[in-house]
Amino acid sequence: MSHSNDHAANHHVDSVGTYIATFGALTILMIATIAAAQVNFGHSIVNNIIAMTIAILKATLVIAIFMAVRRSSGLVKLYAIGGFVWFLLFFIMFCDYATRSWEPVKGWYGEESKVVPDYPHVTDHPGERPEKHDSGH
């Protein structure tokens, strides 16, 4: 076996500097998330996109460097990428929820079909204060 004593690829030791730099970048990104949350960018969608983009950046740093996936074999990369891509595919389910209101079919109670029942259904519970019934919405 020509490779029996050659473990260089698996045994690569990252420098302390690499880990410190990664930790520094993660901390800066964390501060950026908190700072961005204090600013109103006109629409909450912008805030949400910024927050999730930073979270995905942080996750990528952790997976690639701390979890050493960038040095792993193709099979391990496939698992790592597959797991998180699958997670995003989850949200294809929203094609259903987002388009339900387009359906001409009425709900079971004759009202417009909804993903979650409207307020009157969910407010009926013991912890609620009666005087809050009609306020707000």
Partner 1 sequence: MAAIAAEQAHSHDHHGPLHHQFEDLDQQNEAYLVGMWAFLVQEVMFFGALFLTYTLMRWQYPMDWYFAHNELDWKLAGFNTFNLLLSSFFAAMGVRSAQLKDRKGVLLWLGGVLLCCLVFLGIKYVEYALKWEHHLVPGPSFFYQGEANPGVAQMFFGLYFAMTGLHGIHVAVGLIVFGILWLMWYFRKTIVTEDYMPTEMCGLYWHFVDLVWIFLYPLFYLIPHP
Return left, alpha or beta for 13; rule: phi > 0 is left, psi -120 to 50 is alpha, else beta. beta
Is residue 79 at the binding interface for partner 1, with CB under 8 A as the rule? Answer: yes
Say whether 13 sits in a helix, a strand or coil: coil
28 lies in the site for partner 1, by CB under 8 A: no
Q: Which amino acid is at 96?
A: D
User: In whole angstroms, how far apart are CA 120 and each of 13, 114, 128?
Assistant: 60, 13, 12
For partner 1, which is the closer residue by CB, 106 or 115? 115
Contact status: 51 vs partner 1 (CB under 8 A): yes
- Confirm or reject binding of residue 92 to partner 1 (CB under 8 A): no
Nearer to partner 1 by Cβ, of 83 and 107: the residue is 83
DSSP 106: B
If binding is defined by CB under 8 A, does position 100 make contact with partner 1? Answer: no
Instruction: Copy the structure tokens of residue 19.
Output: 């880990």
Candidates 71, 37, 79; CA nearest to 54 is 37
The yes or no reply on residue 127 touching partner 1 (CB under 8 A) is yes
Phi, psi angle pair for 106, to nearest 5°: -80, 155
- For the beta carbon of residue 65, count every other beta carbon within 10 angstroms: 19
Residue 63 contacts partner 1 per CB under 8 A: yes
Give residues in contact with partner 1 (CB under 8 A): 1, 3-4, 7, 9-11, 13-14, 16, 19-20, 22-23, 26-27, 30, 33-34, 37, 40, 44, 47-48, 51-52, 54-55, 58-59, 62-63, 65-68, 72-73, 75-76, 79-80, 82-84, 86-87, 90-91, 93-94, 97, 115-116, 119, 122-129, 132, 136-137
